[in-house]
Amino acid sequence: MTENHHSKQLSASHRTETTRSSLHELRDNGGIPGVVYGTEGENLMISVESKDLVKFLRSGRSEFFQLQVENEGYPVLIKEVQKQGGKIIHVDFQHVSKNKPIRVKVPLHINGTAIGTEAGGVLQVQANDLEVEGLPDALPASLEIDVASLGIGDKLLAGDVQLPQGISLIADTEELIASVIQTRGAEAADEEDVANETPAESEE
């Protein structure tokens, strides 16, 4: 199951302030300055509400989404979020064409309980995202990864992940996503069980 990027939207406003004092004032009033790169003509200077941006990021924002700047919408990627003292102070966006494939890293959501963990194994998740390519409107905002069938010693690789139609894998097919390993305690228990099952040599 996937979530599509076009369901995400963030509102913004045009801005003309560029001086340090005006940017400080903007932040003091709850705004975050930003720039949209790659638009026709000059780069677009904008501002977004801090609370809206923080909420957007916390809700599991996708790499590609719609940035609504007053009456005009822009399909964008977030290039960079600058922070200072744990607070967001600036955000950069990259405008993309809906007719041109782009490469993004899509977040992975791990679902299910690996059967190997019921036998004493431990699930290890090695990757939190996966690099794919596709048209912006077709890109999933996330990929659901089911690990329920993984037993001890099993691995889930990037090439095993089912991708939506029109989306191709850019990451190495051998990239490790998740695996179930056997703990030392479980190994010791197995060795003890084997020892108990081995018949004792008869005394002469």
What is the CATH classification number for the domain harbouring 148?
2.170.120.20
- Give the pLDDT confidence score for residue 115 in this predicted structure: 97
CA nearest to 160, candidates 193, 151, 172:
172
Confidence of residue 176 (pLDDT cuts 50, 70, 90): very high
Residue 26 lies in a domain: yes
Burial of 203 (0-12, 13-18, 19+ CB in 10 A): exposed
Are 154 and 117 contained in the same domain?
yes
pLDDT at residue 57, rounded to an integer: 84
Q: Record the tokens describing residue 4, joined without a space.
A: 């599509």
- Tokens representing 8 are 């995400």
- 192 pLDDT tier (thresholds 50, 70, 90): low
User: In whole angstroms, how far apart are CA 183 and each of 22, 147, 157, 175, 202?
Assistant: 57, 18, 21, 23, 34
Domain count, the chain: 2
Does residue 4 carry a pLDDT above 80? no
Q: Are residues 109 and 88 in the same domain?
A: no
Same domain, 169 and 192: yes
Where residue 117 falls among pLDDT bands split at 50, 70, 90?
very high
Domain-terminating residue out of 41, 65, 95 = 95
- Is 70 exposed, middle or buried (CB count within 10 Å of its CB: 0-12, 13-18, 19+)? exposed
Q: Which two tokens stand for residue 29?
A: 């009033």
96 Cβ contact list (under 8 Å, min separation 6): 38, 64, 75, 76, 77, 102, 136
Among the listed ranges 20-34, 58-72, 141-155, which one has the minimum average pLDDT value?
58-72
Contacts (Cβ under 8 Å, ≥6 apart) of 75:
64, 65, 66, 67, 95, 96, 97, 98, 136
Can you give the pLDDT at residue 113? 96
Top-confidence residue, 194 or 92 = 92
Its domain, for residue 184, covers 102-196
139 vs 189, residue with greater confidence: 139
Q: What is the pLDDT of residues 44-74, one digit of tens each?
A: 999 999 999 998 887 655 567 889 999 899 9
